[in-house]
Chains A and B, each alone.
Chain A
Amino acid sequence: MGNAYTPGLKVVNRITHQCRRILPIPGKVLVSKGDHVEAEQVVAQTFMPGDIMPVNLANLLSMPPSDVMECVLKKVGERIEVGEPLAQTKGIFGMFKQVYKSKDAGTIETISDVTGQVIIRGEPIPVEVRAYLTGTVTEVIPEQGVMIEADVSFVQGIFGIGGESFGTIKMAAASHEQELQADMITPDMKGCVIVGGARVWHDAVRKAIEVGAAAVVAGGIDDQDLKKILGYDLGVAITGTEKVGVTLVITEGFGDIAMAERTFDLLKARVGDFAAVNGATQIRAGVMRPEIVIPLSEEEVKAEEPAKLDGGMLETGRPVRIIRDPYFGLIGTVAGLPSEPQVLGSGSKARVLDVKLGSGETVVIPRANVELIEG
């Protein structure tokens, strides 16, 4: 067998990128097919049913649940405001009546004579979906959302935290091997996507948050730095909802590892351009990697050849990245693909490949421990 399927992370100068932007529940789509949309433009919106507040009147007014129905002053479906009487007891001979004033505003959803509980539903919660990708609407999915397409430069990271953010690209590191330290982050990086080289330090991320940066992109990060940024030890790589104040994209992995040179060079070539960044990572079913999407102008589209992606086939001569120790992070080319499984140092038998490293040395690596550099 001459090849094997080993998908890698995409780092491409030009690719036609599609993006599906969908509401969590049905709503209204605000744009039409063929429209040009900007990244931060709202393309669909809806209202989620408001929060619900249970009020146990039987307990609050010390009465049997079966009496609650006749003491509630509002009907199901009626509005109530904060401070407005919700229920009043009958009292004794019309005296000593107790009144319960609502602590919440909303609509009466249910009144129960079994539990004595009244449910108040709060104001509907607006939900908006932004375009994220500056481009053209290619499809409208009625009541749900849209498909957007654009020619972009596209960089996939391996891991990230934080959701979608937007800003112009600014280089903080001079080379792909330079670590990103706090003193390299300056106030003029406010609102920018800051690009480092190798490992990003915890205090550099803090400084980026301080100056109001939109995102930080770096080659590696130390496990303990991530823990300090998040405030907890990350157990499972499902991220994107963190609210740390900045979006973080790591392109290579954990440890002292330099950013791949071509990733660094691509981002450097796009300095000053607007980028959409998403740190969301999900490594279980339906894999999602963090990304940096840089829309191309019409001139750039004309000047740049679209990348040819060949679906992740591992073949002799293809560039690969080694993704596990003892050679973690090294980049080389496929020098051979022996078909028979071989016994590894661990004693396990697995299919392997020969990788020629930049140093000229050739090493034997399990096929599961490499990924293609695509694009």
Chain B
Amino acid sequence: MTTTTKSDAQQARVILATDCGSTTTKAILIQLTDEGYRQTHRGEAPTTVEEPFADVTMGVVNAVVEVGELAGRKFIDDSGKIIQPATETEGCDVYISTSSAGGGLQMMVAGVVAEMTAASAKRAALGAGAIVMDVIASNDKRKPHEQIQRIRELRPDMMLVSGGTDGGDAKHVVSIAELIAPAKPQPRFGSGYTLPIIYAGNKDAAPRMNKIFEQGFELLIVDNLRPVLERENLGPARDAIHDLFLEHVMAHAPGYDKLMGWTDAPIMPTPGAVGNILQTIAESQNINAVGVDIGGATTDVFSVFDKTFNRTVSANLGMSYSISNVCAEATMPNILRWVHFDMDERELRNRVKNKMIRPTTIPQSLEALVFEQAVAREALRLAYIQHKEFATTLKGVQQQRSVGDTFSQETGGQTIVDNMKLNLLVASGGVLSHAPSMNQTALLLIDAFQPEGFTTLAKDSIFMMPHLGVLAQVHPKAAMEVFERDCLIYLGTCVAPKGSGKPGKPCFDYTIKGSTLNESGQIAFGEIKLLPLAEGETASVTVEPGRTFDCGNGPGKRVEKTVKGGTVGLVLDGRGRPLELPESREACKPLISKWVEAMKLYPGMG
């Protein structure tokens, strides 16, 4: 790393950021303009971490040169390094980078009880941006030899071991460690790599860990991530993961030693950086937010509810490499519910497999696009279910119950994801970002996530969130300004009451008052309506739901809110929550056709 301090960074006029993905390295340029910090240019080039290049900085330089050509600045000197600090025509003041090249950070975590310490360990690893390959726990229903077999099969970059509360029984966590050490997990980077192990469990067992992992491992002991059952302390474990990611994993990736010398802040795993920026936004605006990034192989979901951050990676829910798995998990009938015309199921199954084996192809016909977006709805729906199941209150915490709770079955471990409290839903990833029409993106989000009440919808314009996540660490003001002005493209707002009713019967009355949109009317159950409300505009919307519907203030209660416009507009969704589609495909088709038409999704399709 170079020696730019945080105070130097505050004076920065030219900021360069790169994200080294598995296939593409993306560079963006942020400059201080009369309007504050703006993202001004972008460039990209193939990532060069694998053979024959085997040097990540080549891709970085190529992407940066492209940005430089567009911006009319020279960023790379004759020795191939980034020029710092900036002058009128050359270089940048701050250079930062994220990375998910070479498969990102792959971890295995272990804990004593699957629902308690192991779940906390998983949350720490995911929050740090790792892919969690498996979770080993004393009660994971596998026999010790099966656990050992699994540990031996996996090839993690590092491990996180937790278990026990401070001062509690150390026996169980020692027992887990005693299985891991002789199983000798083989690191992904080969036999020359010493596997780092982070121990974040009962502090009384720490001396024992030193002994167990004495040989063949690099042990780092940090504060217990669950010092008491009632509290998680994930920070030290997450920081340790980031440190080891740099020291060990990145150091073994070709060219990263050089890249680390160029950057003004530690290189972060891409998903960790995305989580950072979402947390920053949620905190600064005091909102609850969900972000999703659907890729070819995986879908990442990030959420911040009541200041609690969670991230999940649905490892095999993606739109190309894993599209066949989405179809297997969601089942073809569930996918076809979203398609409003006849399609041959056998042919579709073969098409899905062909996409799996040739993942870079794109839909040429409108029919192919409609089907792919139907698959995306199910992939996102399943990923969000997994996220809700994971983002819970702490399990194992003693509940204090009053008389009023006598009939409540609620225990610890309830999901903290509450769609009624959700303020902002942000989409990124090819199928969402590159949909030919933003109306398609908006309805994909609404159908899959089913936001309730009033929810602003947005998309990450050019997948800039990772860059801004790192920038937030060195220059929060610049990160926030760019996020607001250039990163997000607002699609509009969705208004959707929770509840169910009879098709065609009233769902809610609405009155809209704005500078360009003034309208009132009624939405029937099962109906969806799109009204124009342009980007930058706001309007005051009053909703009077029917007595079985709730728009945020309770069933039948009136709600008034100011909503944001966007490239799509204002969506009044009276289809009910949860959104239920008829079982029969024949009954589904006319319904979906109606929605497709109302949302102007596929104008070219009859």
Residues in A lying within 8 Å of B, measured CB to CB:
24-26, 49, 51-54, 65, 109-110, 112, 114-115, 117, 119, 121, 158-159, 222-224, 226, 233-237, 253-255, 281, 283-286, 323-326, 328, 344-350, 365-366, 368-369, 371
Contacts of A109 in B (CB 8 A): 182
B363: chain A residues at CB < 8 Å are 324, 344, 346, 348
Tell me whether A284 and B321 are in contact in the complex, defined as CB-CB below 8 angstroms, given that A114-B170, A253-B358, A346-B436 are known contacts: yes
B458 nearest CB across to chain A (Å): 21
Q: A115-B174, A347-B604 are in contact. Are A235 and B186 (CB under 8 A)?
A: no
Residues of A within 8 A of B355 (CB): 324
Can you name the residue of chain A whose Cβ is closest to the Cβ of B369?
Answer: A346
User: Is A253 a contact partner of B437 (Cβ separation < 8 A)?
Assistant: no
Query: Are B602 and A347 in contact, CB atoms less than 8 angstroms apart?
Result: yes
Whether B102 contacts A236 by the Cβ 8 Å rule is no
Given pairs A235-B329, A344-B362, A369-B362, 19 additional interface contacts (CB within 8 A): A25-B186, A54-B145, A110-B181, A112-B175, A114-B175, A236-B322, A236-B325, A237-B356, A253-B358, A284-B297, A285-B103, A286-B50, A323-B354, A324-B362, A325-B351, A325-B364, A348-B436, A366-B362, A369-B361
Which residue of chain A has its CB nearest to the CB of B436? Answer: A347
Q: Which residues of A contact B462 (CB under 8 A)?
A: none
CA distance A212 to B342 in the complex (A): 43
Determine if A255 and B357 form an interchain contact, defined as CB atoms under 8 angstroms apart: no
A222–B360 Cα distance when bound, in Å, is 21
Q: Measured between alpha carbons, how far is A8 from B50 in the docked complex, in Å?
A: 19
Q: Is B307 positioned at the interface, with any CB of A under 8 Å from its CB?
A: no
Given A254-B350, A345-B365, does the pair A323, B358 have CB atoms closer than 8 Å?
yes
Contact assessment for B174 and A366 in the assembled complex, using a CB-CB cutoff below 8 Å: no
User: Which residue of chain B has its CB nearest to the CB of A234?
Assistant: B324
Report if B184 contacts A (CB, 8 A): yes
**1/0 per position for B375-393, CB-CB distance to A under 8 A?**
0000000000000000000
Cross-chain contact A223 with B148 (CB below 8 angstroms): no
Contact of A51 with B148 in the complex, beta carbons under 8 Å: yes
A-contacting residues, B119-168, CB 8 Å = 144-145, 148-149
Pairwise interchain contact A348-B362, C-beta atoms closer than 8 A: yes
Q: For residue A233, which residues in chain B have a CB less than 8 angstroms away from its CB?
A: 324, 327-328
**By the criterion CB–CB under 8 Å, are A281 and B325 in contact?**
no
Q: Can you name the residue of chain B whose Cβ is closest to the Cβ of A352?
A: B364
Out of A224, A326, A328, A366, which one reaches B346, CB within 8 Å?
A224
Q: A325, A328, A365: which has the most chain B beta carbons within 10 Å?
A: A325
Nearest B-chain residue to A119, judged by Cβ: B182
Instruction: Report Cα–Cα, A53/B181, bound state, in Å.
Output: 13
Asked if B183 is at the interface (CB within 8 A of a chain A CB), the reply is yes
| Chain B residues, Cβ within 8 Å of A115 | 171, 174-175, 178
Q: Kindly list chain A residues whose C-beta atoms are within 8 Å of the C-beta of B325.
A: 235-236
- A366 contacts B364, CB within 8 Å? yes
The residue among B327, B346, B358 with the most chain A CB atoms within 10 A of its own CB is: B358
Contacts of B359 in A (CB 8 A): 283
The complex places the Cα of A224 from the Cα of B164 at a distance, in Å, of: 48
**When chains A and B are docked, how far (Å) is the Cα of A86 from the Cα of B297?**
49
With A112-B174, A284-B321 as given contacts, are A348 and B182 in contact (CB-CB < 8 Å)?
no
- Chain A contacts of B604 at CB under 8 A? 345, 347
- Chain B minimum-CB-distance residue to A238: B321
**What are 20 of the A-B contact pairs (CB < 8 Å)?**
A25-B191, A52-B182, A54-B144, A65-B171, A112-B175, A117-B175, A158-B358, A222-B350, A233-B324, A234-B353, A235-B322, A254-B350, A283-B359, A323-B354, A324-B358, A346-B365, A346-B436, A347-B369, A347-B437, A368-B361
Query: What residues on B are CB-neighbors of A121 within 8 Å?
Result: 182
Smallest CB-CB separation from A367: which chain B residue?
A: B362
B357 and A283 contact, CB distance less than 8 A: yes
Also in contact, A348 and B434, with CB within 8 A (given A223-B353, A281-B357, A365-B364): yes
Report the Cα distance A325→B50, complex, angstroms.
Answer: 31
A255 with B368: in contact, given A51-B148, A236-B321, A347-B604 (CB under 8 Å)? no
Asked if B540 is at the interface (CB within 8 A of a chain A CB), the reply is: no
B interface vs A, CB < 8 Å? Answer: 22, 50, 102-103, 144-145, 148-149, 170-171, 174-175, 178-179, 181-184, 186, 191, 208, 297, 316, 321-322, 324-325, 327-329, 346-347, 349-366, 368-369, 434, 436-437, 602, 604
Q: How far apart are the CA atoms of A254 and B355 in the complex, in Å?
A: 10
Choose one: A112, A281, A346; the contact of B366 (CB below 8 Å).
A346
A54 and B321 within 8 A (CB): no
Assembly CA distance A237 to B178 (angstroms): 35
CA distance A26 to B364 in the complex (A): 49
**Chain A: minimal CB distance from B207 (Å):** 11
Q: Are A119 and B321 in contact (CB under 8 A)?
A: no
The distance in angstroms between the C-alpha atoms of A115 and B349, with both chains bound, is 52
Please give me the 4 A-B residue pairs with the lowest Cβ-Cβ distance, nearest first. A235-B325, A347-B436, A346-B369, A254-B353
Complex: how many Å from CA A348 to CA B431?
A: 11
In angstroms, how far is the closest chain B Cβ from the Cβ of A48? 9
B22/A285 in contact, CB under 8 A: yes
A143 to chain B, nearest CB (A): 9
Residues A350 and B350 in contact in the complex (CB < 8 Å), given A54-B178, A115-B174, A237-B356: no
**What is the CA–CA distance of A347 and B363 in the complex, to the nearest angstrom?**
10
A159 touches B357 (CB 8 A): yes
Q: Name the A residues within 8 Å of B353 (CB-CB).
A: 223, 226, 234, 253-254
Bound complex: CA A350 to CA B327 (Å): 26
Partner of B184 from the list A49, A224, A253, A365 (CB cut-off 8 Å) is: A49
* Contact (Cβ within 8 A) B191 A26: yes
Q: Is the CB of B369 within 8 A of A51?
A: no
Contact, CB under 8 Å: B366 / A347: yes
Q: How far is the CA of A89 from the CA of B102 in the complex (A)?
A: 53
How long is the Cα–Cα vector from A119 to B176 in the complex, in angstroms?
A: 12
List chain A residues, Cβ under 8 A from B102: 285
Chain A residues, CB < 8 A from B103? 284-285
Asked if B362 and A350 make an inter-chain contact with CB atoms under 8 angstroms apart, the answer reads yes
**Residues in B neighbouring A348, C-beta threshold 8 A:** 362-363, 369, 434, 436
Are B349 and A223 closer than 8 Å at their CB atoms? Answer: yes
Whether the Cβ atoms of B208 and A369 lie closer than 8 Å is no
From known contacts A112-B174, A223-B353, infer whether A344 and B145 are also in contact, taking CB-CB under 8 Å: no
Across the interface, B364 reaches (CB within 8 A) one of A52, A54, A369, namely A369
CB-CB under 8 A for A255 and B347, given A25-B191, A119-B182, A236-B356: yes
Q: Give the residues in chain A near B170, CB-CB below 8 Å.
A: 114
Residue in B50, B352, B361 whose Cβ sees the most chain A Cβ within 10 Å: B361
- Among candidates A25, A119, A223, residue contacting B352 with C-beta atoms closer than 8 Å: A223
A346 contacts B368, C-beta separation under 8 Å: yes
Closest to A65 in B: B171
**A369 and B347 alpha carbons, distance in the complex (Å):** 18
State A348–B103 Cα separation when bound (angstroms). Answer: 29
Q: Provide the residues of chain A in CB contact with B434, threshold 8 Å.
A: 348
CB atoms of A222 and B174 under 8 A apart:
no
Chain A minimum-CB-distance residue to B143: A54
What's the Cα separation between A51 and B179 when bound, in Å? 11
CB-defined contacts of B364 to chain A, threshold 8 Å? 324-326, 344-346, 365-366, 369
Contacts of B148 in A (CB 8 A): 51-52, 54
A328–B149 alpha-carbon span in the complex (Å): 42
In whole angstroms, what is the CA distance A286 to B354 when docked? 19
Q: How many Å lie between the Cα of A258 and that of B175 in the bound state?
A: 57
Name the B residues within 8 Å of A226 (CB-CB). Answer: 353
With A109-B182, A223-B349, A284-B297 in contact, do A235 and B436 touch (Cβ < 8 Å)? no
- Nearest CB of chain B from residue A373's CB, rounded to whole Å: 14
Query: Within the complex, what minimum Cβ distance (angstroms) separates A7 from chain B?
Result: 10
Which A residues are in CB contact (< 8 Å) with B351?
254, 325, 328
Quick check: A235 and B316 within 8 Å, CB to CB?
yes
- In the complex, which residue of chain A has the Cβ closest to the Cβ of B434? A348
Q: Which residues of B contact A255 (CB under 8 A)?
A: 347, 350, 354
CB distance from A115 to the nearest CB of B (A): 4
Q: Do the beta carbons of B186 and A24 come within 8 Å of each other?
A: yes
A223 touches B186 (CB 8 A): no
Q: Name the CB-closest residue of A to B604.
A: A347
Bound form: Cα–Cα A235–B181 in Å:
32
